[in-house]
Amino acid sequence: MPAKVVVIGSLNMDLVTRAPRLPRGGETLIGQSFATVSGGKGANQAVAAARLGAQVSMVGCVGRDAYGEALRDALLAEQIDCQAVSTVDDSSGVALIVVDDNSQNAIVIVAGANGALTPALVGCFDSVLQAADVIICQLEVPDATVGHALKRGRELGKTVILNPAPASRPLPAHWYANIDYLIPNESEASALSGLPVDSRQTAQVAATRLIEMGAGKVIITLGAEGSLFADGQRLEHFPAPLVKAVDTTAAGDTFVGGFAAALASGKSEAEAIRFGQVAAALSVTRAGAQPSIPTLGEVQAFKTP
C-alpha cells in the first residue's frame, strides 16, 4: 500500500485573474482573463501528495454552497479520502488572486468555512490521524486547531510537517517541539525569525535562528534559488531545476506535498527535497493551483532542459 499522508487544513475556491502587473493602491486595471480553480493550501498539498504517489486523507471544512461541492468533488477526483471533510453552514473559503506578466501573484484570502475547523471537529476524525504516516498542517485554519493537530501528531508518533503559511508573526513557542519539519518560504521565515530573508545568506541566518527557537529541522524554500535545509548540525543548499515560469501559484504547496509523499515512501531527506523541487518546478510552468500540480510519472520523467 502507498504511504499514508493526512492533510489538516484549508479548502478554498481560487478566483484568479491575470493582469499586466499587480495593481497599486486605489488603482483599477483591466484584466486579461478570469477563472475559478479549486485551491486552498491544505487541499493543494493533498492533491500534490496524491498525484505524487501517496494515499491521502483530507481533514477540513467546506460551505453548504456550490463552491463547497466543487471543492469536495475535486479531491474525490484525485482519489483523496474525504470522510473528514465536513460541510458547515457558512460560505466556502475563497482566495482572490491576481497574477502578473512576470508570474508573480498577490492573494487575499477569506476563510469562510475554514474557520469552522475546530480542535473538537478534528478530534472526531482521530482514527484518520492514527492511520497516517505523515501529517501536514498550514495556517489557513484556526491557530488552536493547528496547535491541536501538531500536538496530536506528536502523541501518535507521526512525522509532522508544518508549512507556516500565511505567517505574519512568530509561532507559539510550544508548537516547535511538535514539529519535525518546518517549511516556510522567505517571507514566512522572516516573519517567524524576525530577521530579513532576501538571499541565500540571510536565509542561512534565519534558519539558524529558527533552530535556536526550537525548530527541529527547517527547509526554507527560496523560489528560483531552490531551498535551504538546516537541522542544527548542517546547512545545505539545494539548487532549483531550471524552468520557464508561467504562474507561481501553488508552487510552495506542490513542494510540501511532494516532499511529504517522498518522505512517507521511504526516501531520504535529500531525495525528498529534490523530488519536491522537481514537482514545484513543473508546477510553475503551468497556470492555476491544482491544475498545475504534476503527476508522479511527470516528475520521474523530468530532465533539466
Which residues form the catalytic set? 253
Comparing CA positions, the residue from 58, 90, 89 lying closest to residue 75 is 58
Give CA angle at 65 (64, 70), nearest 5°. 110
Distance between CA atoms of residues 2 and 151, nearest Å:
25
Neighbours of 169 (CB within 10 A): 8
Distance between CA atoms of residues 256 and 262, nearest Å:
10
Please, are residues 5 and 134 in contact by the beta-carbon 8 Å criterion?
yes
Please, are residues 172 and 196 in contact by the beta-carbon 8 Å criterion?
no
Burial zone of 16 (CB within 10 Å; 0-12 exposed, 13-18 middle, 19+ buried): buried
Please, are residues 52 and 299 in contact by the beta-carbon 8 Å criterion?
yes
- CA 141 from chain center: how many Å? 13
**b vs e for 109-134, b when ≥16 Cβ sit within 10 Å of the residue's Cβ?**
bebbbbbbbeeebbeebeebbeebbb
| φ, ψ of residue 149 in degrees (nearest 5) | -65, -40
